[in-house]
A and B are shown apart, each in its own frame.
Chain A
Amino acid sequence: MQCEDSVFDELMNKVLDGEATTEEERVFHAHLEECESCKEEYELLLDTLKELQLQNHSIKAPEGFTQAVMAKLPKEKQQIKWKR
């Protein structure tokens, strides 16, 4: 469900982008107090983005990743080093 007033959609994007002025922030949050659907939408989005960022630290390159990459590098350069 979306608020009929699409002005608030635009405002929500501005707020989320951190580009809203203090006055715009105030207008937006005052609207949330009155509009259940906008409030729900805004909170859902904030939760989703927060969740996405929270999960980040648990996604890591698997064990032995660096060694696997190094083993696949072209060998020529290594020979140059070897000859030194």
Chain B
Amino acid sequence: MDALVANMVAQVKKGDQEAFEGIVDLFKDKIYRHCYRMVGNGHEAEDLAQETFLRAYRNISKYNNEFKFSTWIFRIATNLCIDRLRKKKPDYYLDAEVPGTDGATMYSQLSSEEPLPEQVVTENERWNELQEEIMKLPEKYRTAIVLKYVEDLSLEEISHIMDIPVPTVKTRIHRGREALKKVFQMVVKTR
């Protein structure tokens, strides 16, 4: 697989645009999934994943074989996602008054949307719940957790992608797990 990718990259470097199609096909699901886990929204994930490939294409001449190609492209995706998260301002604040509701806040609006107890929890809801918990993790812990547990990458690879030493990667995975555990305990208790 690595040899196949190296061959495609060499073709793209020579100007063969069609060879890039193979690269996109090979990595699109991984990159999309990574972006989805990072930003928690399908439309944005699609946008970021596309941007990742466009950027990889434009910068392909800068790719040297120092890292695996997958490490390089994950690094582009991660940086784009983090940039997006930092730029993003919340669309609304939960304690802001909702106009025309005489003092109702977003909090009270939210509580009225809670699922009824008799509602069956579907696959999709469980998925959303987990994604919501991931979104609560601070971005540096989230990145480490997603790379480790969603993409199953080695500490070494994560270290290259996040540009931090391996021991720091470990600490972030530990803290990330700790945080994930805490939010989940709260979810379990409120059930």
Contacts and interface: CB of A to CB of B under 8 A. Distances in A.
Interface of A: 13, 16-17, 41, 44-45, 48-49, 51-53, 55-56, 58-62, 65-66, 68-70, 72-74, 77-78, 80-81
A56 B33 contact: yes
Contact of A60 (B17, B29, B174): B29
Interface of B: 15-17, 20-21, 24-25, 28-29, 31-33, 36-37, 42, 46, 49-50, 53-54, 57-58, 126-127, 130, 133-134, 149-150, 152, 170, 173-174, 177, 180-181, 184-185, 188
B32 A60 contact: yes
Interface of B is mostly: helix
A55 B50 contact: no
6 contacts: A17-B170, A51-B130, A61-B28, A65-B28, A66-B21, A81-B16
Contacts, number: 88
Given A45-B181, A62-B46, A66-B24, A81 B150 contact: no
Given A52-B150, A59-B36, A70 B177 contact: no
